[in-house]
Amino acid sequence: MRESEERFEQLTQFNRTVIWECDAQGLYTYVSDSAYDILGYFPDEMVGHLHCWDLAPEATRERLKAQMLERFAAHKPFRDFISSITHQRGHLLWRSSGALPILASNQTLLGYRGSDRDITDQKRSEETIKTLAFYDTLTGLPNRKLLLDRLKQALAASKRSGHYGAILLLDLDHFKTLNDTMGHQQGDLLLIQVAEQIVGATREGDTVARLGGDEFVVVLNDLGAAQSDAALASETVGYKLIGALDRLYPLDALEYRSSASIGITLFQGDDASNDDLLKQADIAMYRAKESGRNTISFFDPQTEAALHQKALLKEELRHAIEHSELVVFYQAQVDDERRICGAEALVRWNHPTRGLVSPAAFIPIAEESGLIVPLGLWVLRSVAQQSVIWQSEARMQDLLISVNVSVRQFMQHDFVDQVRAVINETHVDPSLLKFEMTESILARNTEEIIVKMEQLKAMGIGFSLDDFGTGYSSLGYLKRLPIDQLKIDQSFVRDILSNPNDEIICKSTIALARSMGLDVIAEGVETLSQRDALRLLGCHNYQGFFFAPALCVRDFELMHQKEVA
Ligand code: C2E
Ligand code: CA
Ligand code: CA
CA dihedral 355, 407, 522, 551 (to 10 degrees): -20
Q: Please tell me the predicted confidence (pLDDT) of residue 208.
A: 96
| Nearest Cα residue to atom 2 of ligand 1 | 404
Task: Determine the distance separating the centroid of ligand 1 and the alpha carbon of 360, expressed in angstroms.
Answer: 8
C-alpha of residue 405 to centroid of ligand 1, in Å: 12
pLDDT tens, 282-327? 999 998 988 888 899 999 877 777 777 778 888 999 999 999 899 9
**Residue 540 CA, ligand 1 centroid: distance in Å:** 20
**Is any ligand 1 atom within 6 A of the Cβ of residue 347?**
yes
pLDDT tens digits along 496-553: 999 998 999 899 999 989 999 999 999 999 999 999 999 999 999 999 999 999 999 9
CA 271 to ligand 1 centroid distance, Å: 38
CB 464 less than 6 A from any atom of ligand 1: no
Q: By the 8 A CB rule, do 344 and 548 touch?
A: no
Pick the CATH number of 2-125 from 3.30.450.20, 3.30.470.30, 3.30.460.80, 3.30.1360.180: 3.30.450.20
Largest CA distance in the chain: 120
Burial of 364 (0-12, 13-18, 19+ CB in 10 A): middle
pLDDT given for residue 473 in this prediction = 59
Q: What is residue 27's predicted lDDT score, i.e. its pLDDT?
A: 97
Cα(19) to ligand 2 centroid in Å equals: 78
- Please count the residues of the chain: 565
CA of 393 to the centre of ligand 2 (A): 26
- Domain boundaries, given as residue ranges, for the chain: 2-125, 138-299, 310-562
Q: Fold identical between 138-299 and 310-562? A: no
Q: Which H/E stretch holds residue 546?
A: none
Tell me the pLDDT tens digit for each residue of 49-97. Answer: 999 999 998 888 999 999 999 999 999 999 989 999 999 998 989 999 9
CB distance 328 to ligand 1 below 6 Å: no
DSSP string, 464-491: EEEEETSS---HHHHHHS---EEEE-HH
pLDDT at residue number 369: 84
- Residue 321: per-residue pLDDT: 93
Residue nearest to atom 8 of ligand 1 (CA): 346
Q: Is the CB of 359 under 6 A from ligand 1?
A: yes
Mean pLDDT in order along the chain per 10 residues (565 residues) = 53 72 96 93 96 92 93 93 91 92 93 93 80 85 93 94 96 89 89 95 92 95 91 93 93 89 94 91 91 89 76 90 94 96 96 88 87 96 97 92 95 96 98 92 78 96 91 70 94 94 91 92 98 97 97 95 72
CA of residue 419 to ligand 3 center, whole Å:
22
The CATH number assigned to the domain with range 310-562 reads 3.20.20.450
Best mutation site among 357, 404, 492, 556 for ligand 1 pocket (most ligand atoms within 8 Å of CB): 404
Given the candidates 3.20.10.10, 3.30.70.270, 3.40.50.300, 3.20.20.70, the CATH classification of the domain at 138-299 is 3.30.70.270
Distance CA 7, CA 4 (A): 5
Is 384's C-beta closer than 6 angstroms to any atom of ligand 1? no
CB of 489 closer than 6 A to ligand 1? no
From the CB of 466, is ligand 1 less than 6 Å away? yes
